[in-house]
């Protein structure tokens, strides 16, 4: 017997949660790679880090991370996804910037 008052989420809900999880994993990989190497990773490197063999599989997760504000898209370059710049902090490592005055 199914309880009618209890909502059934199904595959769409699980898929949305999985996409958010993967977007956060992708953003964390971009952040750690940029801090370690000084440049953001390629989409292929992000795809491999998430466990995908094809580059196109990571693209929706990166777009979702941009929409969530975790990453920024810097145009059509080989390394388009970057850590968003925070005022007063280095975009590469997150260290506070010194005043030039």
Rounded distance between C-alpha atoms, residue 94 and residue 88, angstroms: 9
Q: Return the pLDDT at 3.
A: 47
In the chain, DSSP assigns E strands to: 72-73, 81-82
What is the pLDDT at residue 89?
A: 65
The predicted pLDDT at position 86 comes to 64
pLDDT in tens, the chain (101 residues): 444 555 545 555 555 676 788 899 999 999 999 989 988 999 999 999 999 999 889 999 999 999 988 898 888 878 888 888 765 666 556 666 665 44
Overall CATH class of domain 13-82: mainly alpha
d(CA 95, CA 38): 13
The domain spans of the chain are 13-82
Please state at what angle helix 10-37 crosses helix 59-67, rounded to 10 degrees.
90
Q: Is-contact 34 79, C-beta < 8 A? A: no
């Amino acid at each position: 017997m199914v309880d009618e008052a209890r909502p059934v989420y199904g595959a769409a809900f699980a898929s949305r949660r999985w996409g958010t999880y993967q977007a956060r994993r992708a953003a964390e990989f971009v952040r750690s790679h940029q801090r370690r190497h000084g440049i953001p990773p390629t989409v292929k490197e992000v795809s491999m880090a998430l466990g995908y063999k094809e580059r196109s599989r990571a693209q929706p997760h990166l777009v979702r991370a941009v929409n969530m504000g975790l990453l920024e898209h810097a145009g059509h370059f080989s390394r388009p996804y970057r850590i968003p710049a925070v005022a007063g902090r280095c975009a590469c490592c997150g260290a506070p910037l010194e005043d030039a005055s």
